[in-house]
Structures are given as C-alpha cells and as structure tokens.
Amino acid sequence: MWLLGVARQHRLVLPVWRRAVHRAAGVHDPEDSRPRRSSRPPDRTSSGAQLKPEGRGEEAERSGGQRRAWRSEAESERRTNASSRVSPELRKLLLEDSPADPGRPARQRPAPSSRAESFEVVYGVAPCLLALSQGRRTARRLYVKDGEASHRASVVKVCEEARRQGVAVQRVGRRDLDKMSSGGVHQGVCLQAGPLSFLAEGEEAGGRHDATPLWLVLDRIQDPMNLGAILRSAYFLGVDRVASSVRHSCPLSPVVSKASSGVMEVLGVYGYHDLGGLVRAKAARGWQVVGTVGAVAEGAGIPGVPVTPCGDFRMTGPTLLLMGGEGDGLSPELLALCRTLLTVPAGRETVSGVDSLNVSVATGILLHSLLASRRVGRVTPEH
C-alpha cells in the first residue's frame, strides 16, 4: 500500500515539475496544448441535462481565433522571460560580442582575404611602420589590437602613418592578430600588404655607394631568424649591398622582416641564381674575394689560401665577404674562388661542438672588423 501511494504521488508531481522547467527555459511543453479538465462541474439544467452550445458558427470561430492569439502572446512572453534569465556568464559573453553602445558599429572580424594570394601579413611595430613609410610594398589594411594597447605611442605612430598613406585601419581582437601572425610577436599591429622579393641585377635598392664598397654575399642561409639578424647588422654597420643565393635560401618573409626589426623593408637584397658567376665577374675586375672558416685548425680552408684572424685583415679595395649557410658553410664552388679566408678567433679553449659562432653573430663581427679597417684606411696618410 505504501509503495503504491508513493508511485501515485510521483505520477502527480512529475508532470507539474516538468511543465515548470519548460516554462522557465522558454520551451514549448506538449502538455500545455492538451485539453485540461476543469474542476468546475458542467452547467446543467434543473432537470440535470447538460447544456450544449447552440452552434459552432461565427462566434465559435471568433473565440477559437482569440485563443490562438492568446497562446501566441503567451509563448512570446515565455521566450522573453527566458532570455532575461540568462546566466551572468553567458550575458557577459553576449555583451563582449556586441557593441558597447547602440551607436557604435559591431567590431568586424578580419576577412579570410588577409591570407589571400599576392598578400601577406607583416607584423610588429617596426616592420609595419617601415613597410608603410618606405613604400616598397602595396599596403592594403592595418589591423590594430583593440583596447589599451592601441593607445601606446608606438602603435599610434603606426596608425598615423597608415592614415597618411591612405591605408584603412581596423581594430580587432588579440586572437585575430595571433592568427594572422601565426603566433608571432605582433606587438598589437599587423599589416596586410604585398610581398617583397629579391631584387634583380640592374634594379636600384636605394642604398649607399662607397668608393671602396663592401658587398655581403650570403650562400644558402636558410634560417629566417639568422637572415633577419644578418640584414640588421649589415644595414647598421654600413654594408653597400647584400647578395643572396635564390636556391636553397630563405625567402624574404614576414618572419625575416620581424627578425631584422624592419630593416628588410629598407635594405634591398639582391637575388642570384648563380653566385659563382657574380664572384668571378667581380674578381676579374679586381675585387678582393674573402671567405670565412669556423676556426684555425689543421686542414682548415683550402691549400694555398691563407687563413687570417679578422682583426689582422685590412680592406685595400672593393671587397666581397662570403658567408656560408648554417650547416655546411660555403659551397665548394665559392670556397675555391676565395683568395683570403677569415676567422673569428676564440677567446678561450673551447670544447668540441662549440668551437664556432652562429652565422649571424659571426657575420656581425666580421663586418665590423672589415668596415673599421676601411675607415682607418681613409684617415691614415700614405707614405
């Protein structure tokens, strides 16, 4: 008996609880549309017969239409009440995706064309600023991180330069910038622009021209971080031209631009399919051809070619400095064309495996040594 009573109570309570939950969530409950029995007994005549409607004419149809209208209004009201009962966490997310005030347009997301063909994304304050100001790229749109970061002086300067160049500025979220820069350190700005490529012989890079020029020749540099650091040192120290092999070399990518702190946007890099032909042509005109080796050791370099510490070498005329790639150094073809081999001597006894420098660090040291000797040669009177 007790079990039957409990079961009967559950049958009575569960439908009521379910309808209450559905109403709170704004979901239509099929139970609400079922006809309900009235607790009021039907009207009867004095003889006990049930009263029947006189007919189902226009009045019955009108009352049915009113009931449907009332049901529709009730359903709309339940949905409105349900939206007002959204949790604080969900309401916060909705507000973040909508404008702060009705007059402000919703924040636009970057279109998929930010990675469209013939365009790439330059990122970082210095690369974006120099890409805009130098005019070597076709700038399309500047994306700036929304929020406090957009008020930094460096970011404001980039935005002002974009407006001077007639480039549209769009504010986006940090995640959008992270995606456009492929996780790079964008510093709150990304620029959609046309790519940069190697210059061809005969094109002017807008660089300097010295009476005793120094050209830096790069053979198969494959790491974009190394290439960017090399370009930054070459520009800062005063190299007259940078030439690079096209095959098996890193392209002039946004990563290189960021690693160079934007120098790639200023310093033109010439690309050669035949570096050997360039070196032979310059040597025939009296240029010094200087290569590099990792350390002075037995068998280092090539027979008959001296290995000289970089501090002992003096530039006496136009010079080519040849730097090899990260793995194997200079190719055998270029190594055979060298007339002098330079090395950076270690300042201590080194263990095996750390007896050489990173190619970008070695390039900076060698360039500084050669260019310093060129400056000394200018002020030293000839006897």
Going by the DSSP 8-state scheme, the letter that residue 42 receives in this structure is P
List domains and CATH numbers for the chain: 114-193 (3.30.1330.30), 214-345+357-379 (3.40.1280.10)
Mean pLDDT of 15-23: 53
Buried b vs exposed e over 142-159: b needs ≥16 C-beta within 10 Å? bbbbbeeebeeeebeebb
Percent of the chain's residues with pLDDT above 90: 52
CA distance linking residue 129 with residue 16, whole number of Å: 67
Give the tens place of pLDDT for each residue, 278-321.
Answer: 999 999 999 999 999 876 544 455 777 888 999 999 999 999 99
The answer on pLDDT for 14 being more than 90 is no
CA torsion, points 147, 151, 154, 158, in degrees to nearest 10? 80
What is the structure's pLDDT at 143?
97
CA distance linking residue 134 with residue 201, whole number of Å: 21
What is the structure's pLDDT at 78?
55
Model-level pTM? 0.68
Higher pLDDT, 84 or 342: 342
Going by the DSSP 8-state scheme, the letter that residue 310 receives in this structure is G
Higher pLDDT, 368 or 30: 368
Q: Among 192, 216, 199, 39, which Cα is nearest to 120's?
A: 192
Give the tens place of pLDDT for each residue, 165-218.
Answer: 999 999 999 999 999 999 999 999 999 999 999 999 877 665 556 678 999 999
The answer on pLDDT for 95 being more than 80 is no
Q: Which residue reads 């350190």 in tokens?
A: 185
Reduce the DSSP state of residue 32 to 3 states and report it.
Answer: helix
Mean pLDDT of 224-243: 97
What is the structure's pLDDT at 355?
73
Residue 307 host element (H or E): strand 307-309
Q: Which residue reads 């349900």 in tokens?
A: 82
Widest Cα–Cα separation across the chain: 146
Higher pLDDT, 196 or 62: 196
Higher pLDDT, 17 or 142: 142
